[in-house]
A and B are shown apart, each in its own frame.
Chain A
Amino acid sequence: NAGVTQTPKFQVLKTGQSMTLQCAQDMNHNSMYWYRQDPGMGLRLIYYSASEGTTDKGEVPNGYNVSRLNKREFSLRLESAAPSQTSVYFCATWTPPNYNEQFFGPGTRLTVL
């Protein structure tokens, strides 16, 4: 089992370009999350999906959109990238039924020039 996978691992964009970060999990978990991690800021929740077909905003949703394509896949889209979106992005899931452990993907390092 791969757990949580993310693609790409690295990406460089120019301001105004768009891209989609992909996340997939093979653990059959319902909930999936997108975080960003910046130096000195900790992990901040962008969007989450409690189950297939639902998505909700987290702490820092501006400039992002998400799609819960199916139970396995949860994508994050930057429509018009800005330098402030330079960050490391992590996808994560929670283990049911007690939600006592969160599994993270390996991350995507994004630089916006």
Chain B
Amino acid sequence: QKEVEQNSGPLSVPEGAIASLNCTYSDRVSQSFFWYRQYSGKSPELIMSIYSNGDKEDGRFTAQLNKASQYVSLLIRDSQPSDSATYLCAVNMAGGYQKVTFGTGTKLQVIP
């Protein structure tokens, strides 16, 4: 079992719809959770971080964390073509100095 799992996609949504991206992780004691966006040929950039159970909203983005189910998700409301990218889930696993483990990413395509 991979430590951090994501569906590779592509996930296709029409412009204006809600995109839902999901991530599961294996280490129950993980503390920090991150969502990065990576455009093709570019480096990852942080869009959301979440540390406690529940929802965290930032503009059109909402991160949801459920530690009991070991599940973290990212919702993108009013999806735009510019949101088309690969979204990486990252989890700070226990036992390392800020050593995060990344999922393989979900490719999102927003169709105009």
Contact = CB atoms under 8 A, between A and B. Distances in A.
Given A31-B98, A48-B97, A100-B32, A42 B46 contact: no
Nearest to B4: A42
B43 A48 contact: no
Find the residue from A41, A43, A100 having the highest chain B CB count within 10 A. A43
Interface stretch (B64-72, B75-83, B102-110): B102-110
A49 B61 CA distance: 32
A61 interface: no
Contacts of B100: 45, 102
Given A50-B97, A99-B98, A101-B49, A42 B44 contact: no
Interface residues of A, number: 21
Contacts, number: 43
Contact of B45 (A31, A50, A104, A107): A104
Interface residues on B, range: 20 to 34
B97 to A, nearest CB: 5
Given A102-B34, A104-B43, A40 B99 contact: no
B45 A42 contact: no
Interface string A39-81: 0111111001010000010100000000000000000000000
Interface of A: 31, 40-45, 48, 50, 56, 58, 90, 94, 99-102, 104-107
19 contacts: A31-B98, A41-B104, A42-B105, A43-B88, A44-B102, A45-B99, A48-B99, A50-B97, A56-B97, A58-B99, A90-B44, A94-B98, A99-B98, A101-B46, A101-B49, A102-B46, A102-B100, A104-B43, A105-B43
